[in-house]
Structure 1
Amino acid sequence: MWREADLPDGLEILRASCFDHRYPAHFHDEFVFAAFARGAQRHRIARFEGVAEAGTLMVIPPGEVHTGEAVERSRGWDYCAFYPSARFVEAIADEVLGGSGPVDFQGEVLRHDPELARHLLEASAAIGASGDVLTRQCAAYAAFGAVIARYGERPSGRRRAEAADTAMGQAIAFLEAHHGEPIGVNAVAETVGLSPYHFMRSFRAKTGLSVHRYLTQIRLNHAKALLLRGESAAEVALGAGFFDQSHLINQFRAQFGVTPGAFVAASR
């Protein structure tokens, strides 16, 4: 996994061969465009459960909670994933689709599309291997444009329903603002005027994650940004709200499949 600073919003890319690694329930602030090359991955995305095999294209909207693990550990699965920001996707949709309103992928998570999956896999390989900025940029724009053109929809005037109600939005904003501090559920519940029990049930129902797991995700996202600024793992652990460096490394590896050091070393 690495970040490309020369692509919009610091595009993150993952190329992986997984066997016994299991991704816990998590979310991304960005879209996920993934393509599968070998084996099979079992996953849960929101309430949808499925299997992604070779030739499968996966599109996950920002904020959608999902998991992933091998169908058979002895076989595992190989895949690549891109994490373009909503702003990056919408900018391409302006050119490819026209219209107005957020791009919509019609609620479909998986599509068996070997041609488009191969396009994304080749783009991932080209970006990882090329030292030329223009080559990397062209590969990313062409791959995302192909996905949006084939499966994106953007009718003029259409609006997407809000993902969270006002109370949960306020709670998430509170977690973001105080992620580096010790936080108890009472403090968050008080900010939205709910009892702790009611708040915890409502939060999980709305986001698909417990408050603790959601906060850990926020802390990991901030940790990535601090690591790329050159801060040490020990400094990042303290700044992002983890107990210590070991806690950060364990959570980072579980979430992203690589260590913080490997992520920084591979990023450009």
Structure 2
Amino acid sequence: MDNNKENIVLWKDSGLFNGTEFLLASCYEHSYPAHFHEEFVIAAFSRGAQRNSVCRRTGIATAGSIMVIHPGEVHTGEAVEREMGWDYCALYPSEQLLLDIAYEPDAGNKSLNFGCQNIHQDIALANTLIAASATLRSCPDTLEKECTLYGVLSAFISRYGILTTKNSTSADPRAEVSRGLEYIHDLYDQNINIKDIADAAEMSEFYFMRLFRASTGMSVHKYLNQIRLNRAKKLLSEGVKATVVAHRVGFFDQSHLNRNFKAQFGITPGRYAESCV
């Protein structure tokens, strides 16, 4: 297999609806470790097959598949056959952007979700997403890109979206570790340890670690790393140098950032920064 075939382009367009991230990729050797996004993931597959796990549910996405992942859902991805790999595109719209597109004047206090099924075989919509991604990558016309993104997200919401009334009393599976999560989000750039986090949650260290993994699907360290990488992407997209970003988000140095960023996203921080507009 020719490693030069592997091509991952991840970028953020700051001019589109307060900033939206996109991806176009041909993957072979690269495998995505367990991670999550603060935004939705809406992906379309055009070639090959990807084996994935979303919230511990396994599946295979093939050409013509659409996949949706909700914010915070831990997931992985790798080629079913490395010689074949897979091609796909992905959009990362914020929850607020999707709610704005789905807006109904009399809807009241609503939330938007796409059900429990992550993968749908939908060749027509997959082709629409793939074509839209190519336009969003290459088109210099902001209005055309805005209309393209609105059109494809509107079609996706119309096909698979479920508007429900928010229930303030509904149970949050992360509620028991919420104070620990708040501590991590507030101090992600510091050299924090498990005792400090568990103390913030008013639990013993080992009980907190066990409950945290059961609640989030990740270890405390991997979750912290994900927060740091998400913040790093934001700073890189704003033009902050990688050396500065590394220290600002809590990595030891630039090589520490580079290693984790490449493992997570398949490209270096420098390439990501160059691709952002």
Give TM-score scaled by structure 1 length.
Answer: 0.95
2:7 maps to 1:6: no
Aligned residue among 110, 123, 126 for 2:119: 110
Supply the distance in 1 between the matched residues of 2:141 and 2:105 (Cα, whole angstroms): 25
Residue in structure 2 matched with residue 58 of structure 1 by the alignment: 67
RMSD of equivalent CA atoms: 1.6
Aligned residue among 219, 232, 237 for 1:210: 219
2:241 maps to 1:245: no
Q: 1:96 to 1:26 in 2, by over 3 A?
A: farther
2:175 maps to 1:182: no
Q: CA deviation at 1:104?
A: 2.0
Aligned residue among 36, 55, 62 for 2:45: 36
Q: CA deviation at 1:254?
A: 0.9
SS of equivalent residue, structure 1 residue 9: coil
Aligned residue among 11, 18, 21 for 2:27: 18
Q: Which amino acid in the other structure matches residue 83 of structure 1?
A: Y
Supply the distance in 1 between the matched residues of 2:271 and 2:154 (Cα, whole angstroms): 30
Q: Which amino acid in the other structure matches residue 116 of structure 2?
A: G
SS of equivalent residue, structure 1 residue 147: helix
Aligned residue among 177, 188, 191 for 1:168: 177
SS of equivalent residue, structure 1 residue 58: strand
Give TM-score scaled by structure 2 length.
Answer: 0.92
Aligned 8 A contact 1:4 1:10 in 2: yes
Supply the distance in 2 between the matched residues of 1:206 and 1:93 (Cα, whole angstroms): 29
Aligned 8 A contact 2:26 2:86 in 1: yes
Aligned 8 A contact 2:52 2:76 in 1: yes
SS of equivalent residue, structure 1 residue 258: coil
Which segment is superposed worse, 88-97 or 168-177? 88-97
Supply the distance in 2 between the matched residues of 1:184 and 1:198 (Cα, whole angstroms): 15
Which segment is superposed worse, 99-108 or 50-59? 99-108
Residue in structure 1 matched with residue 94 of structure 2 by the alignment: 85
Structure 1: unaligned runs, 5 residues or longer: none
Supply the distance in 1 between the matched residues of 2:158 and 2:105 (Cα, whole angstroms): 6
Supply the distance in 2 between the matched residues of 1:51 and 1:22 (Cα, whole angstroms): 14
- How many residue pairs get aligned? The number is 267
